[in-house]
Structure 1
């Protein structure tokens, strides 16, 4: 299968590192004109340099804006009025016990993880429908289906994204715009890698040992028995963004290494 996205513009929120950066690279490699995003100009510039070194001639640009707030989203809309592919990747996570979570914690996670995606989809999807083609993707998580007790707030926001994704897909029925959610499992992203590196340093053990221990204790149902790479997650996103994925919409697609024990 030869995926070509030449002539298509893509926006990837929260894409200066980790899964988002891997998605941006994959889209650019497939020929798309990619807009990356991060909160600081320094991070955006670093990501752009990384992509251009990896893919000389890639059509990439960047915007420094906090898309976790309405003001940041408005900046993006002003700079990039329309797009063909929207990847709602922006998200935050933090292990914290349920009874320690404050109202502010809940509000922050909904604002960043859910409302950022809602605002971008609300702005860009109507234009896609008018043009008769588009792809909207929401990065959810296996935590949407198996709420982690150490991050109930995070899991709840990821479940909300599944509802938004399905509802938007049905709203756009027959328009040529597909809408899907992608559910990664434990993935060695920058945030997760940094989390494990810090814990490994504190405990005086190798990172690999800590990762293996986490899978064994907290995700024992994993079939691959390891963390996924960001590229493995990005591969599914690139396919769903492609012309070839035209009959896949309203779906929750898992790239979780088999963590979720389900045949559907």
Structure 2
């Protein structure tokens, strides 16, 4: 068979192959250098990737009115029953269970109050104080409950900061001589749904009353015929639920 002859001008000489290889290596090196340089420049000019952080849940502030140097702060976490919490206006039941106060009434139309005269018993000449506690119930309910303040030693008079969680309402009542007086009518407030706690707070300054729900001002009232008693407590007005109370804070000026 006849060998196929390659023309002289198409034959690849060794020196040509060597030169071509050098050029190829040089070209490849230039490509690598360009890629690295451009890549580094892009990284330098690109904005840094933001760090994702968890969303912090908003919680009610404790002690809305900050106490001064001469104020004494008390905190009841119900870790024990040393402060003698007592049930008033039975029939009903009061228990300290798992670090919480549990209150209920057995009568469909008779309210009960839980109070401790040991926990907060300032002298009568003190006109400014602050009280706060967390409230929830054992079941979802349309019934009301609330925070008692200005409670007399005979339990014959007091203020009641009352809430209805199911429809987001609150009001301020005054009880004296066996009758109720509405000081602040029904007010819409933002309340946390069942079973979360709602924090009720009251700042009392010589008859000037500020009411807070979960750290937000709900209403104010000026009582010209103020109650000077300072006892505090929790209130439930009807049977069918158990009121759960935690973290009572009280402070007054010394």
| TM-score normalised by length of structure 1 | 0.28
Structure with bigger helix share is: 1
Structure with bigger strand share is: 2
Structure number with larger C-alpha Rg = 2
| TM-score normalised by length of structure 2 | 0.29
